[in-house]
């Protein structure tokens, strides 16, 4: 409740009607200047206002006290009902205890301790060996530490905020096992992207090893389709690709130079052979002309010889005829000799004709 105070008038010997006094209104935080004439009315007004305020405050306090008394009575009634219910439960528990022989405080305390231990075991996972099924969403605001051997996630989409994922976090000392990721491919086995500890290299391969293995055995190397491949050394079948390309370029250069040299040599050889061929063609033409001339001469000579032989043959036939007529008959020896001469002449004529035909064909 605000208080109003009027300043004390001190050392006032002879008040003057028109003297000015200062009155401080603490409730409204303001000062007023009054004269002695209206000071009494100001005092009456302030006193009346203060009295009204006090009365209002008393009325409010009375109302508050009545409310408190009412709530106190309700609470007493509620407490009485709860005491009654508690007494009934105590009585019921006593009857149960009596029916079960009795339960001592030590046993009850022991049971409470067991319950507390079980709850603690469930919370920290030391004694709980069952399974907890969570049908609703589970949100863990703090850190989640899993000390078991296996975490199985059958979620459709796994969203991870971490930028870095650490595998084999518990490894200490010198590494001995492979580390990587397996991809389940149904009845086709697994695909793996892993670090082969024995080879000290990353591998992308197909494997039939399960996830429980600490060492993976690749069945075949998998294909890798990338845009740009950057590496200090890229090998193919154990040989550096850069070295292989350089060797191939050198081999191609050497081969090209050899081909060019052989081509130049062949061009020279072909020019020489063309010249020799032209010379041979010219020589053959001359030789053929000479052979044609000689052949014609031989043909002419053979024709003359054959005519002469035919004339001689006719003469001999005529002579033989005369002899046969003169001797009246020819002996078998004579006839056979004549036949041999005729056969020889016919053979010579045939040989001459074959030589003539051959010469004509060659010409």
Instruction: Give me the percent of the chain exceeding a pLDDT of 70.
Output: 68
**According to the model, what pLDDT value does residue 178 have?**
92
Q: 251 with 203, same domain?
A: no
**According to the model, what pLDDT value does residue 97 have?**
55
Q: Is 236 a domain residue?
A: no
Q: 271 with 357, same domain?
A: yes
Per the structure, the count of domains in the chain is: 3
Tokens representing 147 are: 């000390």
Q: 117 with 8, same domain?
A: yes
CA dist 220 → 102, 180, 223, 240, 330 (Å): 74, 17, 9, 21, 109
300-324 pLDDT tens trace: 888 888 888 788 888 877 777 666 5
**According to the model, what pLDDT value does residue 7 have?**
41
Of 224, 258, 280, the residue at which a domain comes to its end is: 224
Q: Is 139 a domain residue?
A: no
Q: 193 with 283, same domain?
A: no
The yes-or-no verdict on residue 183 having pLDDT over 80 is yes
Identify the DSSP state of 138: -
Return the closest-CA partner of residue 56 out of 2, 7, 105: 2
61-119 pLDDT tens trace: 778 777 777 877 777 787 777 778 777 777 776 655 555 555 566 776 777 776 667 66
- Please, what is the average pLDDT of the chain? 75
Q: 213 with 321, same domain?
A: no
Strand-strand pairing, 179-184 and 239-240: unpaired
Longest dimension (CA), the chain: 233
What's the gap between Cα 333 and its chain centre? 114
The average pLDDT across 262-291 equals 85
| 193 beta partners | 181, 204
Q: 103 with 4, same domain?
A: yes
221-247 pLDDT tens trace: 888 888 887 877 777 777 777 777 787
Count CB neighbours of 194 within 10 A: 20
Q: 209 with 270, same domain?
A: no
Q: Is 185 a domain residue?
A: yes
Show the beta-strand stretches assigned E in the chain: 20-25, 30-35, 179-184, 190-196, 201-207, 218-221, 235-236, 239-240
Domain that holds residue 120: 1-125
Q: Is 231 a domain residue?
A: no
The yes-or-no verdict on residue 353 having pLDDT over 80 is no
32-67 pLDDT tens trace: 665 555 656 666 676 677 777 777 777 787 787 777
Q: 358 with 248, same domain?
A: yes
Of 90, 105, 125, the residue at which a domain comes to its end is: 125
**Long-range contacts (CB closer than 8 Å, 24 or more residues apart) made by 222-225:** 222/191
Q: 303 with 349, same domain?
A: yes
Residue 23 banded pLDDT, cuts 50, 70, 90? low
Classify 247 as helix, strand or coil: helix
Q: 49 with 2, same domain?
A: yes
Q: Is 153 a domain residue?
A: no
Q: 67 with 119, same domain?
A: yes
Of 164, 192, 224, the residue at which a domain comes to its end is: 224
24 vs 8: which has the higher pLDDT: 24
| Cβ neighbours for 9, distance < 8 A, ≥ 6 positions apart | 21
Q: 3 with 84, same domain?
A: yes
């Amino acid at each position: 409740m605000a208080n109003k105070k009027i300043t004390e008038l001190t050392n006032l010997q002879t008040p003057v009607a028109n003297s000015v006094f200062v009155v401080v209104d603490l409730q409204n935080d303001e000062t007023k200047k009054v004269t002695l004439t209206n000071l009494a009315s100001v005092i009456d007004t302030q006193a009346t206002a203060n009295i009204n305020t006090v009365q209002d405050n008393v009325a409010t306090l009375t109302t508050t006290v009545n409310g408190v008394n009412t709530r106190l009575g309700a609470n007493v009634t509620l407490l009485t009902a709860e005491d009654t219910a508690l007494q009934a439960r105590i009585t019921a528990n006593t009857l149960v205890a009596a029916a079960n022989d009795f339960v001592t405080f030590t046993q009850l305390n022991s049971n409470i301790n067991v319950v507390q231990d079980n709850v603690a075991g469930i919370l920290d996972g030391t004694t709980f060996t069952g399974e907890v099924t969570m049908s609703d969403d589970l949100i863990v605001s703090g850190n989640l530490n899993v000390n078991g051997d296996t975490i199985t996630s059958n979620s459709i989409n796994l969203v991870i905020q971490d930028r870095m994922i650490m595998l084999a976090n518990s490894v200490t000392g010198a590494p001995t096992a492979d580390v990587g990721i397996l991809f389940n491919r149904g009845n086709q086995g697994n695909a793996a992207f892993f670090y082969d500890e024995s080879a000290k290299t990353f591998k992308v391969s197909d494997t039939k090893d399960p996830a429980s293995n600490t060492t993976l055995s690749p069945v075949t190397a998998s294909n890798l389709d990338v845009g740009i491949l950057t590496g200090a050394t890229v090998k193919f079948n154990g040989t550096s690709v850069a070295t292989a390309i350089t060797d191939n370029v050198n081999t191609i250069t050497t081969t090209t130079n050899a081909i060019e040299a052989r081509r130049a040599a062949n061009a020279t050889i072909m020019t020489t052979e063309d010249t020799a061929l032209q010379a041979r063609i010219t020589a053959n033409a001359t030789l053929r002309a000479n052979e044609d001339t000689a052949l014609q001469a031989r043909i002419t000579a053979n024709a003359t010889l054959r005519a002469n032989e035919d004339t001689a043959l006719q003469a001999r036939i005529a002579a033989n005829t005369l002899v046969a007529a003169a001797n009246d008959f020819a002996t078998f020896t004579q006839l056979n000799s004549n036949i041999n001469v005729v056969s020889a002449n016919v053979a010579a004529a045939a040989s001459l004709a074959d030589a003539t035909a051959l010469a004509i064909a060659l010409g």
